[in-house]
Structure 1
Amino acid sequence: MARKAATARGRTLGAELLALRKHRGLTTRAAAERIGWTAATLNRTENGLRVATAEEVATVLGAYGVVGGERERLLALARDAETPGWWEPGDSIYPTPLKALIGFEAQATRITNVEISLVPGLLQIPEYARAVMLASGIPPLEIETRVATRMGRQAILSRPQPPKLLAVIDEAALLRPVGGRHVMTEQLHHLQRLARKPNIEIRVLPLDAGAHSALAGPFTILEFGRANPLVHQGGKRSISFVDSAPEVAEFVASVDTLRRTSLPPDRSVALIAKIIALKGS
């Protein structure tokens, strides 16, 4: 069931506190009494629907008897959760769902992006992104800000300890000359360069594969260190997140099927090179 998702930092911190409570064999009610909270407050905190302050986390850690390096690590995580990211200024121009997505991407350890019509946003060059936005009817005055935001999101792929990214792209998206032949050729060259990075895997769904499960629409699976995975689905007018385990499992199963249907990384890169050669002829 799609619903408004918890914040990325809240989910990460909450998952850590949940693991601590379970490790100590405490029920929600017993732990809440020990901390001095209501069971509802603790439940919301563990689910990421409420972000605890560093002071509150210190109280929880004291109640659970956590000391030493583990205590310092969790307090640092709590302080980080209180620090706004670059996408979270007080008068943010970014809509709440987009801020949520950027936050989840920043916290994810693995991202799986399935796209049918376009190159995934995390792999787009500025000119390609600009052409997509212009064709989507985004006001020209907003386009440059949105392009800059998209490029900012991509920084996670080159940071220390970057997330693993699996991009499954339909061949049709690679054949469509978004922005014209020159822009599309540069975009394809960019995909070739990215495919050489150890944390990025690109797989192409060839046209001759026929119908496949991704035709139902694009989606992104975000996985985290402790928090449960969730699925992002975005359209022109809406962004939704799915985090119920049975529904997430359906998307994971779809990716398993698409892995078998798609070309392996080396053949995918070879196909991209072939498309570049055809565009240059």
Structure 2
Amino acid sequence: MANRQKGADRVVTDRLTANRRQLGAMLRRLREEGGKTLEDAAAHLECSPAKVSRIETGQVAVRPIDVREMLSLYEVSSARSAALLALVRQSREKKGWWKAYAEVIAEGYEFFISLEDEASVICDYQPFLVPGLLQTESYMSAVMEAYKVPPALAAQRIALREQRQSILAGDAPPQLRVVIEEQVLQRPVGDSWVMREQLRRLLEMGTRPGISIQVISVDVGLHPAEGRAFVMLGFPDPSEPKIVYLEHLNESHLLDDVDRTADYERVFSSLQSMALSLKESASLIERMSAG
């Protein structure tokens, strides 16, 4: 038993050390991108350049207040700052589960995952596919196959997506508000069995507290979102700005400017208004799952 506990403690220690190193590397990259030297950072923090160097190499833990000061000096956006501060907390705790998937996480996507893990409200509009947090494993596999993702890489990405889904089953899950186009339900992904299973998953998830799923009928014409997917995250602290995540073919963006995110908030509210009600949406999904 003692040996097993020592082994577990060693795993946690290794994970926290890895987290600190990754955080330090990010801080070094942001410092360099901001055109600042070790001496600049040290002067701002009122410490020695050696201490800043140890932070950047992961040799020592860093306090959130120091990270805030560093990010302010480097003129890092509030979206990235929020993600980095989440990583600071994880570097001091037993968090950061996605580190195990570092090889399959695209640059910048880790920021989104860390923010998603902290969010209290997730608003997700999808015009083409079922949102990742609601996908079945079979549906994920069919998507990966359609995108020509190599099997080994696909398996890792599926595992990552399933791990992300675990936030909906936690002790304090975020509210999940989903709006999808009816075409998402009609578009074949995999065979008919895969689609029926996926539709039943939507029905089951829609009955859970804190999860709402609405469908925009094909009868609705053009609307403000114009078929462009986005995810908007809200946080427990009302003073913390909402974050909008946009994903494109070869890149992704995090928006944190209050004026721009307010536009997305208005658009999402508009989409909810024009979509079928929760009951009507569930009835439509049920009919299609039986077809």
Q: TM-score, normalised by structure 2?
A: 0.69
> Which of 236, 239, 248 is matched with 2:249 structurally?
236
The corresponding residue for 1:159 is 170
**Number of matched pairs:** 224
Q: Quick check: 1:115–1:214 contact (8 Å CA) kept in 2?
A: no
Instruction: Please give the alpha-carbon distance, in whole angstroms, between the structure 1 residues aligned to 2:164 and 2:101.
Output: 19
Any residues of structure 2 matched to 1:88-167 within 5 Å, and which?
88-89=99-100, 92-167=103-178
Q: Does 1:221 align with 2:250?
A: no
CA drift at 1:98: 2.2
The corresponding residue for 2:265 is 252
CA drift at 1:93: 3.8
Instruction: Please give the alpha-carbon distance, in whole angstroms, between the structure 2 residues aligned to 1:41 and 1:123.
Output: 37
- Structure 1 residues 138, 44: CA separation in 2 closer, same or farther (over 3 Å shift)? farther
**What secondary structure does 1:154 align onto?**
helix
Q: Does 1:275 align with 2:285?
A: no
**What secondary structure does 2:276 align onto?**
coil
Instruction: Please give the alpha-carbon distance, in whole angstroms, between the structure 2 residues aligned to 1:133 and 1:90.
Output: 17
> Which of 38, 43, 55 is matched with 2:72 structurally?
43
**What secondary structure does 2:188 align onto?**
coil
Instruction: Please give the alpha-carbon distance, in whole angstroms, between the structure 1 residues aligned to 2:103 and 2:261.
Output: 30
Q: Quick check: 1:168–1:204 contact (8 Å CA) kept in 2?
A: yes
Instruction: Please give the alpha-carbon distance, in whole angstroms, between the structure 2 residues aligned to 1:151 and 1:224.
Output: 22
Q: Does 1:82 align with 2:92?
A: yes
CA drift at 1:94: 2.1
Structure 1 residue identity aligned to 2:110: K
Deviation sequence 1:153-194 (CA, Å, 0-9, x none):
000011011000001010000011211111000000000000
Q: TM-score, normalised by structure 1?
A: 0.72
Which structure has more RCO (C-alpha within 8 Å, separation ≥ 6)? 1
Identity of aligned residues (%): 30
Structure 1 residue identity aligned to 2:277: P
Instruction: Please give the alpha-carbon distance, in whole angstroms, between the structure 2 residues aligned to 1:143 and 1:50.
Output: 26
Q: Quick check: 1:221–1:229 contact (8 Å CA) kept in 2?
A: yes
**What RMSD over aligned residues (CA atoms) do the two structures have, in Å?**
2.9
Unaligned runs of 5+ in 2: 1-22, 24-42, 48-65
Structure 1 residue identity aligned to 2:70: T
Instruction: Please give the alpha-carbon distance, in whole angstroms, between the structure 2 residues aligned to 1:264 and 1:90.
Output: 37
Instruction: Please give the alpha-carbon distance, in whole angstroms, between the structure 2 residues aligned to 1:202 and 1:116.
Output: 13
CA drift at 1:79: 4.8
- Structure 1 residues 79, 112: CA separation in 2 closer, same or farther (over 3 Å shift)? closer
Structure 2 residue identity aligned to 1:169: I
CA drift at 1:109: 0.4
Instruction: Please give the alpha-carbon distance, in whole angstroms, between the structure 2 residues aligned to 1:119 and 1:43.
Output: 38
Instruction: Please give the alpha-carbon distance, in whole angstroms, between the structure 2 residues aligned to 1:169 and 1:91.
Output: 29
**What secondary structure does 2:189 align onto?**
coil
CA drift at 1:127: 0.6
Deviation sequence 1:238-279 (CA, Å, 0-9, x none):
1111111111011111011111110111111011011122x2
Deviation sequence 1:189-230 (CA, Å, 0-9, x none):
000000010011001001111222232400000111222111
CA drift at 1:40: 5.4
The corresponding residue for 1:187 is 198
- Structure 1 residues 220, 79: CA separation in 2 closer, same or farther (over 3 Å shift)? closer
Instruction: Please give the alpha-carbon distance, in whole angstroms, between the structure 2 residues aligned to 1:119 and 1:101.
Output: 18
- Structure 1 residues 182, 50: CA separation in 2 closer, same or farther (over 3 Å shift)? closer
Instruction: Please give the alpha-carbon distance, in whole angstroms, between the structure 2 residues aligned to 1:208 and 1:250.
Output: 24
- Structure 1 residues 170, 82: CA separation in 2 closer, same or farther (over 3 Å shift)? same
**What secondary structure does 1:168 align onto?**
strand
Structure 1 residue identity aligned to 2:224: S
- Structure 1 residues 270, 138: CA separation in 2 closer, same or farther (over 3 Å shift)? same
